[in-house]
Amino acid sequence: MKTVRWSVDKKIDNMTGYPQIDEAAAYLLNNEVVAFPTETVYGLGANAKSDEAVAKIYTAKGRPADNPLIVHISSTRQLQDLVAAIPEKSMKLMNAFWPGPLTLIFQKKQGAVSEIVTAGLDTIAVRMPDHPVALALISASSLPIAAPSANQSGKPSPTTADHVAKDLDGKIAGIVDGGPTGVGVESTVIDCTGTTPIILRPGGVSKEEIESIIDHVEMDASLKDKEEKPKSPGMKYKHYAPAVPLFLAEGEPNWVQSLINEKRNQGLKVGVMSSSETASYYDADKVLDLGSRSNLSEVAHSLYDSLRALDEAELDIIFSEVFPETGVGAAIMNRLDKAAGHNWIQQKK
């Protein structure tokens, strides 16, 4: 399959009738799969109403069929066609954070989307992306668009069109290149269908920001465990992983350096993911500075690009520092924990 690539300048004021957008939308209407940029990562989009189209997402990614997909919309009018009801707390969050990196779980309207999208659940995950290219594409297609991240399943999510092409060229119909994404980690997923809202996946909107709108919310207890039927992408399988073993090293820099030295003495090539504050301290085969601990948004933005860069460095093992789990730090550590397969090494006190 030849993968078409369309370049779109996200700074264009009005994308209505924009030829590249309209052509990509025509592919979606023809039940083809098209990658497109959002403010978080690149998504792999298909007509959420079509079994044929959605099945192509799973085939291209190699994604397990029991892992549900997020449906992307461009207007609240579209939401009415997808959900059975909109709880008051969900409405408050929509008003505060849509468009934006927040996915809400609703009771679904039967027959609204392909059963493959929701993996047999009676709920549906929906978000409105805060990216002009994404919104224009969804609007031009007049479809709800099912879209996980546009990468090979289990690998680091893509933040550029080149990342998408590296994983999926020849496996999907097209890529809309709208430049690098912004937030760098996926959306926060929250379930407001029960009595207490529960964050199923930390992401671009922090727990603290959510609680400023609807008071108390809880973090799902199974975030680090496997779920039988996950309501949210990223809850069950190992995700975001480089090709070589990654370990989270929680301790002082001199102790982390001792781990590096031990592996290098064994003849292994070692990579390190660190904060700006300690990057110059490490002596390793590859050291990547993710950003400052005082600016975790910077760390989130560079996370997946760094994981991919380490993947290409032909290393044998990677160590990563850990980061504070406040604000977007919760999302950073969730992704790092999954990338490492929950493998932590902690310095003895």
Q: Pick out the residues of the known binding site.
A: 40, 63, 67, 72, 123, 127, 147, 149, 157, 187, 201, 240
Round to whole Å and give the CA distance between 11 and 73: 20
Q: What are phi and psi of 5, to 5 degrees?
A: -125, 125
Measured in whole angstroms, the distance separating CA 23 from the mean position of its chain's CA atoms is 26
Is residue 264 within 8 A of residue 285, CB to CB? The reply is: yes
Q: What residues are designated binding site for L-threonine?
A: 40, 72, 127, 147, 187
Q: How many CA atoms lie within 13 A of 164 on its CB side?
A: 32
Sign of torsion, CA 252 253 258 263?
Answer: positive
Q: What residues are designated binding site for ATP?
A: 63, 67, 123, 149, 157, 201, 240
Look-up: residue for tokens 């609240």?
76
Both structure tokens of 123: 């709920």
Nearest to 285 by CA among 322, 318, 251, 331: 318
Round to whole Å and give the CA distance between 103 and 265: 46
